Amino acid sequence: MPTFYEFFAGGGMVRAGLGRNWRCLFANDVDLKKGATYTANWGVKHLHIGDVAKLGIGNLPAQADLAWASFPCQDLSLAGAGAGLEGDRSGTFWPFWDLMRQLGKEGRAPRMVVLENVCGALTSHGGKDFAAISSALTGSGYRFGAVIIDAVNFLPHSRPRLFIIGVAPENPIPKELTSEGPTQPWHTDGLMQAYGALSGRAKAKWIWWQFPQPLPRSQNFVDIIEDKPKGVKWHTAAETKQLLAMMSAVNIAKVKKAQQNGGRVIGAVYKRTRTNDAGEKVQRAEVRFDDVAGCLRTPAGGSSRQSILVIEGKKVRSRLLSPREAARLMGLPDDYILPQKYNEAYHIAGDGVAVPVVRFLAANLLERLLLVWKEELAAA
Whether 256 and 156 map to the same domain: the answer is: no
Whether 364 and 332 map to the same domain: the answer is: no
pTM of the model as a whole: 0.94
Whether 40 and 163 map to the same domain: the answer is: yes
Whether 184 and 229 map to the same domain: the answer is: no
Q: How many CB atoms lie within 10 A of CB 62?
A: 10
Whether 40 and 183 map to the same domain: the answer is: yes
Whether 84 and 178 map to the same domain: the answer is: yes
Give me the pLDDT at residue 232, please. Answer: 95
Give me the pLDDT at residue 75, please. Answer: 46
pLDDT at 4 over 50: yes
Average pLDDT over residues 18-46: 96
Mean pLDDT of the chain: 92
Length of the chain: 380
Q: pLDDT, tens digit, for every residue of 108-139?
A: 999 999 999 999 999 988 888 899 999 999 99
Whether 34 and 72 map to the same domain: the answer is: yes
Whether 235 and 334 map to the same domain: the answer is: yes
β-bridge pairing 66-69 and 112-117? parallel
Whether 124 and 145 map to the same domain: the answer is: yes
Q: What is the CATH number of the domain that holds 374?
A: 3.40.50.150
Range of the domain at 259: 221-349
Whether 195 and 70 map to the same domain: the answer is: yes
Whether 280 and 177 map to the same domain: the answer is: no
The contacts of residue 351 (CB under 8 Å, 6+ apart) are: 10, 34, 298
Q: pLDDT, tens digit, for every residue of 198-228?
A: 999 999 999 999 999 999 999 999 999 998 9
pLDDT above 90: percentage of residues in the chain: 82
Contact 282, 247 (CB under 8 A): no
The H-assigned helical ranges of the chain are 13-18, 32-42, 93-105, 128-139, 189-196, 200-204, 221-224, 237-245, 249-260, 323-329, 342-350, 355-361, 367-379
Output the CA–CA distances (angstroms, integers) from residue 297 to 118, 293, 294, in the order listed: 11, 11, 9
Q: pLDDT, tens digit, for every residue of 332-362?
A: 999 999 999 999 999 999 999 999 999 999 9
Number of folded domains that form the chain: 2
Whether 197 and 230 map to the same domain: the answer is: no
In three-state form (DSSP H/G/I as H, E/B as E, the rest C), the secondary structure along 59-101 is: HCCCCCCEEEECCCCCCCCCCCCCCHHHCCCHHHHHHHHHHHH
Give me the pLDDT at residue 303, please. Answer: 54
Helix axes 342-350, 32-42, angle to 10 degrees: 80
